[in-house]
Amino acid sequence: MVRSAGCASIHEGDCAPWPKLESRIMKRIRLALFLSGSVTQHSLGSWRHPLSASQHNRSPWDRVPFWLDIARSAERGGYDLIFFSDSNGMNLGHADRHDDAVRYAAQAPRLDPLQILPAMAAVTSRIGLAATQSVLAVPPFVGARAWATLDHLSGGRAGWNVVAGYLKSEGQNLGYDDLLAHDERYAYAGEYIEVCNRLWQSWDEDAIVSDTAGSTFADPTKVREINFAGKWFRSRGPAQVHRSPQGRPLIIQAGQSPAGRAFGAQNADVIFAICRSAAQMKSFRDDMRKRAVEAGRDPDRIKILFGMQPIVGETDEIARQKAAFHQSLVPLEAGIFYLSGHLGVDLSGEDPDRPLRAIDVPGVQGILDAYADTSGDGAALTVGEAAQRHAGSVGFPQVVGSPERVARWMLDMMEEAGGDGFMISPIHLPGSADEFGNLVIPILEREAGRSALDLAGPTLRERMMEE
């Protein structure tokens, strides 16, 4: 009998004493470190936290050494992947203005993660290096080149989170009056990836012959034009960059609507999801596996990672105090603005005690589903509760406790729900990411088998797929 899912979360109330961990054979748990190239991570309290390195001048967040320290310690700590979220626009909230985004540092200001990752590649040798880039940002030819370049520079460790934009400000910043309709965005992204795939394959693996005597660097018969002409894109090719170590970057995707899931089943190697309970995780995973088969793919080649925000203390009591302190750094008004912007509705005039699920929202489906879910604690959240949590963890379940308790929650989730691992959202940087690496990852390695350091695969894709 598996312990009730979600019990370790501070949001679900106090937990009974935890049984001693027992070894059991499980498949490997993959771990991504979820970052934003900003002063604030995925908690609006993070920049205010006294342990954030960005709070003092020893290591400013907008200088290279800050990010290099994080890359080195994430690799040492046993994470499989560093992953940056990103957007080309601010969350404008309900006021349709940038005021709250900059006041609360809601991922604003934000550096371009594609310029951070090559620096991280230079000081690491194993960890995956992934970031989000919108298909609205650059033409596919330019995008394909950037990702192939990172894959070369990192020796096959690049990962691209493909997004089609969901913030209105992003479209407006990039010169569009509005975003495409929801499902059409995924069709657009699908055509974009198709162009990229063709470009990435436009150089054969053995095209470079480097025949100095014969004066031939690359065999022209092994490099082709693609002459793509679709509904939205045209590109002649060949690619400007030769075939990269992985052939194409690890493709990552997060989107939980039916169209988002269909896109992921078709294209993704790794899918990120926000679920608050084991039941929700299981239902998402079962659905994705079914969709993978329908798309003609091996479901084991699509790895699903669930978001979580661990708050680890030496004891449960210390962890609870840390969680309460962290939450005190997150003003409710910040949560109302932040959630309004992500859902695409104005929650500022809502009664904070009204259940969130009663509101019709056209926005980010996964976030709403997580808050409206009743399988974790039996009650859908109110607007106020959801706003507070959103500002603290962008909807990720917060898992609070001793290292053993947090590890047990993860093992239980994997056992009950299935899935392939977690996306770890630190409450401040670098300390909270390190704490998880130092205290929890060793327990997971002991209890659930292989460490990230033991994996054989030289490329990120091989390592992520290895059981």
Ligand X SMILES: Cc1cc2nc3c(=O)[nH]c(=O)nc-3n(C[C@H](O)[C@H](O)[C@H](O)COP(=O)(O)O)c2cc1C
Asked if 171 interacts with ligand X (CB under 6 A), we say no
Asked if 86 interacts with ligand X (CB under 6 A), we say yes
Q: Residue 195 or residue 254: which is nearer to ligand X going by CB?
A: 254
Asked if 284 interacts with ligand X (CB under 6 A), we say no
Q: Is 390 annotated as ligand-binding? A: no
Residues 93-122 that bind ligand X (CB under 6 A): none
- Cβ neighbour number for residue 24 with a 10 Å cutoff: 10
Q: Residue 131 or residue 387: which is nearer to ligand X going by CB?
A: 131
Q: Residue 203 or residue 272: which is nearer to ligand X going by CB?
A: 272
CB of 110 to ligand X, least distance (A): 10
Site string for ligand X, 131-170 (x = CB under 6 A): -x-x----------------------------x-xx----
CB of 457 to ligand X, least distance (A): 25
- CA Rg value for the chain: 22
Q: Is 85 annotated as ligand-binding? A: no
Asked if 338 interacts with ligand X (CB under 6 A), we say no
CB of 41 to ligand X, least distance (A): 12
Label residue 250 left, alpha or beta by phi (over 0 means left) and psi (-120 to 50 means alpha).
Answer: beta
Asked if 257 interacts with ligand X (CB under 6 A), we say yes
Asked if 87 interacts with ligand X (CB under 6 A), we say yes
Asked if 368 interacts with ligand X (CB under 6 A), we say no
CB of 186 to ligand X, least distance (A): 7
HEC profile of the chain: CCCCCCCCCHHHCCCCCCCCCCCCCCCCCEEEEEEECECCCCCCCHHHCCCEHHHCCCCCCCCHHHHHHHHHHHHHHCCCEEEEECCCCCCCCCCCCCHHHHHCCCCCCECCHHHHHHHHHHCCCCCEEEEEEECCCCCHHHHHHHHHHHHHHCCCCEEEEEECCCCHHHHHHCCCCCCCCHHHHHHHHHHHHHHHHHHHCCECCCCEEEECCCCEEECHHHECCCCEECCCCEECCCCCCCCCCCCCCEEEECCCCHHHHHHHHHHCCEEEECCCCHHHHHHHHHHHHHHHHHCCCCHHHCEEEEEEEEEECCCHHHHHHHHHHHHHCCCHHHHHHHHHHHHCCCCCCCCCCCEHHHCCCCCCHHHHHHHHCCCCCCCCCEHHHHHHHHHHHCCCCEEEECHHHHHHHHHHHHHHHCCCEEEECCCCCEHHHHHHHHHHHHHHHHHHCCCHHHCCCCCHHHHHHCC
CB of 124 to ligand X, least distance (A): 22
Q: Is 338 annotated as ligand-binding? A: no
CB of 75 to ligand X, least distance (A): 22
CB of 32 to ligand X, least distance (A): 10
CB of 363 to ligand X, least distance (A): 7
CB 42 within 8 A of CB 322: no
- One of 136, 150, 254, 399 touching ligand X (CB under 6 A): 254
Q: Is 40 annotated as ligand-binding? A: no
Asked if 272 interacts with ligand X (CB under 6 A), we say yes
- One of 77, 190, 255, 426 touching ligand X (CB under 6 A): 255
The count of chain residues that interact with ligand X, using the rule CB under 6 A, is: 19
Q: Is 382 annotated as ligand-binding? A: no
Q: Residue 176 or residue 217: which is nearer to ligand X going by CB?
A: 176
Q: Residue 165 or residue 238: which is nearer to ligand X going by CB?
A: 165
Asked if 82 interacts with ligand X (CB under 6 A), we say no
Residue nearest to ligand X (CB): 260
Q: Residue 254 or residue 427: which is nearer to ligand X going by CB?
A: 254
Spatial neighbors of 344 by CB under 8 A, at least 6 apart, are 166, 168, 361, 362, 363, 364
- One of 365, 388, 393, 425 touching ligand X (CB under 6 A): 365
CB of 365 to ligand X, least distance (A): 4
d(CA 285, CA 364): 18
Stretch that binds ligand X, among 5-13, 93-101, 250-258, 403-411 (CB under 6 A): 250-258
Spatial neighbors of 332 by CB under 8 A, at least 6 apart, are 352, 384, 387, 388, 391
- One of 52, 85, 202, 280 touching ligand X (CB under 6 A): 85
Binding residues, as ranges, are: 86, 132, 182, 186, 257
Residues that bind ligand X (CB under 6 A): 85-87, 132, 134, 163, 165-166, 254-257, 260, 272, 274, 307, 364-366
Binding residues for FMN, as ranges, are: 86, 132, 182, 186, 257
